Amino acid sequence: MPEDPDFRSLFDATLSPLLVLTPDFTIVEVNRAYLTATRTERSIVGRPIFDVFPDNPEDPSADGVANLRRSLETVVASRRTDTMALQRYDIPTGEEGTFAERYWSPVNTPVLDADGQLTYIIHRVEDVTEFVHLRKVGREQQRAVADAQMRAEGMEIDLFVRAREIREVNEQLSRANAELDAAGRRLREEQRAKDRFIATLSHELRNPLAAATAATELLALDMPRGHPALAVLERQLGTLTRMSNDLLDGTRAVTGRLELVRDPVDLRSVVDGACADIRGLFGHEGRTLGVVLPDRPVIVDGDRLRLAQVLTNLLSNALKYTRPGGHTEVGLSAEDGRARLTVRDDGIGFEPAQAEELFGVFMRAAPAGPDTPEGLGLGLAVARTVVELHEGRISAHSDGPGKGASFTVLLPTTDATGPRQPRPSAVRPAASRLAILIVEDNADLAETYRTLLERQGHRVTAVHTGHDALAATEREPFDVVLCDLGLPDIDGYAVARAVRARPDGDRPRLIAVSGFSQGTDRALSRAAGFDAHLAKPLPLTDLLELLERLGEG
């Protein structure tokens, strides 16, 4: 049997200069060819390679150390062979501070153990200095040309290997890009599916909310002296409505689809209206709400409803996190071309470093738990989006837990005159008796609307499908048609177009009533022939005001 080969002797006898490095680039073995090529001795073993072979300090353009380090680090990171380009790397001559010019063709190869872990790096070099010199001076001697040709062929082999490695890397990049594209498509599809789900959920919540709201208003008419349960119903229905709106608006805020209808607006009226709407909620458990308004108008170019939504969200936030007996203060001022709206409370506060996080989607000032206030954590995110759409800024501040919080909104003011906004009117009997058709597939909501409107003296008919609506308008004339857009057979748009196409189709006033009430939804209803577009849940006061205007017209 032949004896096992002496691998150390074979390594030492290899004609190619070889150096063995640890992953931290310390020399652990070297063969004779390498020592001869670099004019060094075995005493270099055990030393870091860059201590043994530093850059030539006399050559300001020397980059041998940087290039070799980059290649070795690539091998450590990728566990793959790295073939370097032809490289100038001068070597010490042995005399103090002197270097000999050398050119090399290096290849760095990883050595992996059974577990795939990097154990060593084999650094192989070929001294191509003579070839470079011959190419520079253009020697024509046959031997030099032949030698150069041999070395060139060797370099061509190195280039071939390098090209193959580059091709493999490009193929890997192509596969990675394809996977990223597929992941991006899946993410976009999931985002669209989530948006559709939230929009549909919010819309579907509006029908039962609208029915419950209308039923509560009907009970209020039957109980003119009031009842404690009615106040509870009104508060809880208001909370559910705000949560439904926050759910839909939160999705629009994240996706950048919130829309504004801008006009000159006096912020004083926005503050006055929003505080009036929510003041009753502050009256519970001894909480108080103070408002400080300037004597002069504070005009901004903005969307009145969205700006009121910002303040309502800030006040709702203060209400949630203010303990019984607490106080919230709303202040408005204007200076240097900016309006400053501040909501300050003496509630639970928050860590100062948490201020920016509060405006994130689904973020809360208090951790989830049995005492955590209700809400989805969307109000402040929606408020920030609305403020930024108005070219403004919103910020939060607290001195720490238990020390209250303040939220500040800054908006650019304008010199334009704000339009006078009509004040909400109380429910009162109708000035004229109207023939009204209700088209609503939710039977509870349709019946409650009919009862409410009949109490106001109107003649009301209710149907539940689009085809029944078309048949009813064929049988008898109506002054007003309140039509839901989402019907079980044909949608409300088709109903409106069919009615308008008739010879007397311009007589009835068509009012769209829907859970979808964005600018695009309103544009579609106008194009179909509707005269107005109301959002569910529909307050009785708003509906009666509209009917009163239609009756006067």
Q: Convert the pLDDT of each residue in 132-142 to its tens digit.
A: 887 777 655 55
- Pick the more confident residue, 255 or 537: 537
Q: What is the pLDDT of residue 319?
A: 87
148 confidence band (pLDDT: 50, 70, 90): low
Q: What is the pLDDT of residue 365?
A: 56
Average pLDDT over residues 7-14: 88
Cα–chain center distance at 532:
33
Q: Cβ(263)–Cβ(301) under 8 Å?
A: yes
Q: What is the pLDDT of residue 71?
A: 93
Average pLDDT over residues 530-539: 81
Has residue 422 got a pLDDT over 50?
no
Has residue 427 got a pLDDT over 60?
no
Under DSSP, is residue 505 helix (H, G, I), strand (E, B) or coil? coil
Enter the pTM of the model.
0.42
Q: What is the pLDDT of residue 165?
A: 82
Cα–chain center distance at 328:
31
Q: What is the pLDDT of residue 380?
A: 84
Of the ranges 72-76, 94-98, 218-222, 487-491, which one carries the lowest mean pLDDT score? Answer: 218-222
CA distance 198 to 404: 33
Under DSSP, is residue 513 helix (H, G, I), strand (E, B) or coil? strand
Q: What is the pLDDT of residue 183?
A: 84
**CA gyration radius, the chain:** 40
Triad 136, 138, 139: Cα angle to 5°: 125
Cα–chain center distance at 37:
60
Has residue 430 got a pLDDT over 60?
no
Under DSSP, is residue 108 helix (H, G, I), strand (E, B) or coil? strand
Tens-digit pLDDT profile for residues 287-324: 899 999 999 999 999 888 789 889 988 998 888 888 88
Q: Cβ(53)–Cβ(27) under 8 Å?
A: no
Q: Find where tokens 């544009």 sit.
A: 523
CA distance 206 to 438: 17
Tens-digit pLDDT profile for residues 373-383: 555 567 788 88
CA distance 530 to 497: 9
CA-closest candidate to residue 387, choices 419, 343, 328, 321: 343
Average pLDDT over residues 313-337: 90
Average pLDDT over residues 150-166: 79
Instruction: Say whether the peptide bond before residue 17 is cis (omega within 30 degrees of 0).
Output: no
- Nearby residues of 65 by Cβ (< 8 Å), 6 or more positions away: 50, 53, 54, 55
Q: What is the pLDDT of residue 448?
A: 84
Q: What is the pLDDT of residue 420?
A: 45
Average pLDDT over residues 82-94: 85
And the tokens for 341?
Answer: 């709206």
Q: Is 321 left (phi over 0), alpha (psi -120 to 50) or beta?
A: alpha
Which CB contacts under 8 angstroms, 24+ apart, belong to 42-50?
48/24, 49/19, 49/21, 49/25, 49/123, 50/25
Average pLDDT over residues 162-186: 85
Quote the percentage of the chain above a pLDDT of 90. Answer: 33
Q: What is the pLDDT of residue 329?
A: 94
Q: What is the pLDDT of residue 284?
A: 75
Has residue 343 got a pLDDT over 90?
yes
Of the ranges 86-90, 284-288, 423-427, which one carries the lowest mean pLDDT score? Answer: 423-427
Q: Cβ(438)–Cβ(462) under 8 Å?
A: yes
Task: Measure Cα distances from 526 to 83, 142, 501, 513, 530 in Å.
Answer: 69, 92, 15, 12, 5
What dihedral do alpha carbons 397, 398, 399, 400 form, nearest 10°? -140
Highest mean pLDDT pick, 213-217, 230-234, 284-288: 284-288
Tens-digit pLDDT profile for residues 444-492: 888 888 888 888 889 999 999 999 999 999 999 999 999 998 888 999 9
Of the ranges 402-406, 430-434, 535-539, 542-546, which one carries the lowest mean pLDDT score? Answer: 430-434
What dihedral do alpha carbons 460, 466, 472, 478 form, nearest 10°? 50
**DSSP letters spanning 393-416:** EEEEE-SSTTS-EEEEEEEEB-SS
Q: What is the pLDDT of residue 368?
A: 47
Tell me the pLDDT of the chain averaged across its residues: 81
